[in-house]
């Protein structure tokens, strides 16, 4: 039975399984290079290879038969990703080749790596903290360039440095409070005497830490938007051009487009990127009263999707204008609470938009006219209330957000008690809990259960 936390040699395919030019099989652990050398055509050369070098040779199977021609990248402890001796085998791509290499490694004493075990070992060997470990998963799953750049900033240590800076402020405040408790007020020499108010020494620094935590907590909304994406629904009456707009935004012919109203009976979806935001775009059945049982189900599903949407693109046929049915729907409870963009479609042949067209955008799904403006408007709606976009360090992990919010609660409690003149022995435990929460974010404070749950959600090979 295998588990996180041991140093036995492990191996895993680090590239997607399937046909390709190359595949990489990753290995790490105690005696990993020596074990690999036992099934390598140049064992002595591999065993004596220094770190950060590449060795050419063949992986050899049973009876020294050739499995594949490879390049082996050698990494020596502690200067490796995991902090252990490790080697990456670059072999030819293809399912059969990679599996044959893995089977040979199993025979040499390697076991299959658990999900995220390479990154777990990097954390346990003090190569990275938990914020960097989580950013590895964020990079792998990034759906847009914005998500990728945010994850890179966290992988580079930006979030770790910010958390440690806030923690250092709180530790200094806590140290001052505990020092004051240990000595009488006459004996206590406070460094920042002019900053002391109420019953909490160095209260200004506590407020600085609290404000920094508030900024980090607020950053989660926009970082999570770039990581997880948003849900946009295209809706409207039949033959308004919903499927044509869907195909235009997706940039391929995914939805069937005909002149016959009601062609789309069920909804389609596809992931796209709009202004760096990953968007799951859904094309729905035309909304109208129908006696057709299948079409009625499609309309009901469309209405259900609208209630889940982060933004609704309601398509109006610009050649006929806003109909009574359009107006009835737009003023019904179906769209209540959902951010709405009204799209005046078929601009290449449409009539002019009405005078009261505020919040309406004119496009042609056929020619592409107005699509850039529509994309910018979608991004504007999705980013509303998310704060200004900048290059500051943000929080993208729900685990980190929850711990930051807990630390915020504890610091707020400590400051509130200071305002009411509470004794330091009552205030200090709240500060201590805030410090522990921040330690849990970086991994200075952790439990086996938390680590197992977190790393088990990673890809195998990471």
Q: What is the pLDDT of residue 196?
A: 42
What does 169-202 look like in DSSP terms, one character per residue?
HHHHHHHHHHHHHHS-TTT---TTGGG-BTTBTT
Number of Cβ within 10 Å of residue 315's Cβ equals 28
Given this model, what pLDDT does residue 254 score? Answer: 53
φ, ψ dihedrals at 226, nearest 5°: -70, -30
Q: Are 55 and 71 in contact (CB under 8 A)?
A: yes
User: Using CA atoms, how far apart are residues 97 and 22, in angstroms rounded to an integer?
Assistant: 10
Residue of 33, 34, 40, 43 whose CA lies nearest to 91: 40
**The residue count for the chain:** 462
| Residues in a beta bridge with 126 | none
Per-residue pLDDT of the chain (462 residues; tens, 9 = 90+): 456 778 899 999 999 888 889 999 999 999 999 999 999 999 999 999 999 999 999 999 988 999 999 999 999 999 999 999 999 999 999 899 999 999 999 999 999 999 999 999 999 999 999 999 999 989 988 888 888 899 999 999 999 999 999 999 999 888 887 777 666 454 444 444 434 444 677 889 999 999 999 999 999 999 989 988 999 999 888 888 888 899 999 887 655 444 544 444 457 889 999 988 999 999 987 776 555 555 566 667 778 888 889 999 999 998 888 888 888 888 877 778 889 999 999 988 887 777 666 678 999 989 999 999 999 999 999 988 665 555 678 898 999 999 999 999 999 999 999 888 888 888 889 999 999 999 999 988 766 766 776 777 777 777
pLDDT for the residue 387: 55
Cα(213)–Cα(166) distance, rounded to whole angstroms?
Answer: 8
Rounded Cα distance, 244 and 247, in Å: 5
Distance CA 316, CA 313 (A): 10
Catalogue all structural domains in the chain, each as residue range(s) with its CATH number: 10-128 (3.30.1360.120), 130-443 (3.40.50.300)
2 sits in the region (left: phi over 0; alpha: psi -120 to 50; else beta) called: beta
pLDDT at 6: 82
Q: Please tell me the pTM assigned to this model.
A: 0.77
Instruction: Please check whether residue 351 is in contact with residue 321, taking contact to mean a CB–CB distance below 8 angstroms.
Output: yes
* Residue pair 403/212 in contact by the 8 Å Cβ criterion: no
Burial of 172 (C-beta count, 10 Å sphere; 0-12/13-18/19+): middle
Q: What is the largest CA-CA distance in the chain?
A: 89
Q: Phi and psi dihedrals of 395, rounded to 5?
A: -110, 125
Cβ neighbours of residue 447 closer than 8 Å, sequence gap 6 or more: none
């Amino acid at each position: 039975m295998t588990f996180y936390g041991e140093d036995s040699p492990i191996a895993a395919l680090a590239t997607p399984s399937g046909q390709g030019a190359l595949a990489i099989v990753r290995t790490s652990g105690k005696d990993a290079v020596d074990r690999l050398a036992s099934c390598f055509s140049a064992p002595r050369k591999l065993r004596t290879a220094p770190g950060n070098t590449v060795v050419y040779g063949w992986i050899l199977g049973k009876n020294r038969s050739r499995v594949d021609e490879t390049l082996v990248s050698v990494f020596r402890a502690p200067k490796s990703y995991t902090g252990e001796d490790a080697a990456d085998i670059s072999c030819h791509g293809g399912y059969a080749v990679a599996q044959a290499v893995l089977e040979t490694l199993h025979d040499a004493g390697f076991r299959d790596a658990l999900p995220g075990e390479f990154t777990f070992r990097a954390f346990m060997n003090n190569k990275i903290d938990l914020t960097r470990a989580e950013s590895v998963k964020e990079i792998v799953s990034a759906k847009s360039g914005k998500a990728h750049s945010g994850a890179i900033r966290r992988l580079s240590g930006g979030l770790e440095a910010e958390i440690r800076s806030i923690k250092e402020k709180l530790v200094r405040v806590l140290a001052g409070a505990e020092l004051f408790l240990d000595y009488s007020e006459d004996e206590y020499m406070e460094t920042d005497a002019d900053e002391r108010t109420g019953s909490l020494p160095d209260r200004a620094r506590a407020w600085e830490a609290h404000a920094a935590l508030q900024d980090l907590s607020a950053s989660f909304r926009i970082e999570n938007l770039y990581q997880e994406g948003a849900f946009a629904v295209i809706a409207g009456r039949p033959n308004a051009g919903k499927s044509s707009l869907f195909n235009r935004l997706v940039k391929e012919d995914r939805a069937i487009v005909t002149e016959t109203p009601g062609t789309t009976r069920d909804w389609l979806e596809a992931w796209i990127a709009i202004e760096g935001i990953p968007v799951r775009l859904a094309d729905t059945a035309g909304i109208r009263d129908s006696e057709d049982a299948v079409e009625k189900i499609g309309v009901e599903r469309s209405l259900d999707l609208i209630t889940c949407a982060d933004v609704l693109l309601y398509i109006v046929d610009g050649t006929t204008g806003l109909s009574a049915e359009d107006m009835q729907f737009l003023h019904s409870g179906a769209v209540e609470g959902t951010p709405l963009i009204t799209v005046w479609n078929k601009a290449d042949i449409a009539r002019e938009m009405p005078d009261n067209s505020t919040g309406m955008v004119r496009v042609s799904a056929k020619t592409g006219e107005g699509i850039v403006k529509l994309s910018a408007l979608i991004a504007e709606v999705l980013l509303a209330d998310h704060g200004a976009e900048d290059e500051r360090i943000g929080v993208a992990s729900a685990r980190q957000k929850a711990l930051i919010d807990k630390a915020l609660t504890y610091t707020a409690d400590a400051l509130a008690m200071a305002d009411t003149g509470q004794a330091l022995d009552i205030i200090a435990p709240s500060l201590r809990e805030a410090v522990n929460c921040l330690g849990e974010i970086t991994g200075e404070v952790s439990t086996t259960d938390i680590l197992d749950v977190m790393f088990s959600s990673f890809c195998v090979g990471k």
